[in-house]
Amino acid sequence: MPAPKTDGIERRAMANGGELRMAQAAEGIGMAAGYAVLWNNRTDIGGWWTEQFAVGCFTESLTKRDVVALHSHDDARPVGRRSRGTLRLTEDQRGLAFENDLPDTSDGRDLKVQLERGDIEGMSFRFIARREEWDETTEPPVRTIHEADLIEITYTTFPAYPDTEAGMRSLEKARTERRQHNKTGAMARLRMRQAQRERKI
């Protein structure tokens, strides 16, 4: 497996269900709209685990972080920015909805045509998990992300295979903590039985 990343940034793709579409904008060439994330939508992560995002997991992040919309995860190809009002993000009952006023640039014009034609059907996004829960009573385990920092959303023709390094580290940490908890509990029970035997002597 590749060397673990140190920044904790993960990438996920949503190829369907996000209702990605073009909509009329008050000005400019048009507005792209849809969902970047759907709540409680379990996704297979390479067969290692399934993953879902809990309702409102980006609420805290949206109060303090700027978010950009990119073309193909390329930082040099921005097509919207939340702090500039050209990207609007809203959490509702279904997921994280977005509206993106596309710029009158080559990328913006190309995206407009590609979305209208249906050449781009899904979105991808990058995030850092801040609070999560693992359920290993099922196979594969289920990872529920309760709080995360959203970094970007992006339009991609072929959504990339999800990054797994940070998630694998999180799973291993959860398993280590559980083993330690079980070991501590077993030692406590052993000491209790020993004390009970000594009182009977």
Query: What pLDDT is recorded for position 159?
Result: 62
Do residues 152 and 77 make contact, with C-beta atoms less than 8 angstroms apart? Answer: no
Length of the chain: 201
13: CB partners within 8 A, 6+ apart: 122, 123, 124, 156, 159, 160, 162
Q: How far apart are CA 96 and CA 102, in angstroms?
A: 19
Which helix H or strand E contains 55, and what residues bound it? none
Q: What is the per-residue pLDDT across 134-173, written as a single tens digit (0 to 9) for each?
A: 999 999 999 999 999 999 999 987 664 454 455 466 667 7
Query: What pLDDT is recorded for position 17?
Result: 58
Q: How far apart are CA 170 and CA 60, in angstroms?
A: 21
Q: Which residue has the tokens 């899904």?
A: 122
Q: Is the pLDDT of residue 42 over 60?
A: yes
Entry pTM: 0.76
* The pair of three-digit structure tokens given for residue 46, joined into one six-digit string: 């390479």
Strand pairing report for 123-135 and 142-155:
antiparallel
Mean pLDDT of the chain: 83
Domain extents for the chain? 9-163
Name the DSSP class of 39: T
Among 59-63, 86-90, 110-114, 191-195, the least confident range: 191-195
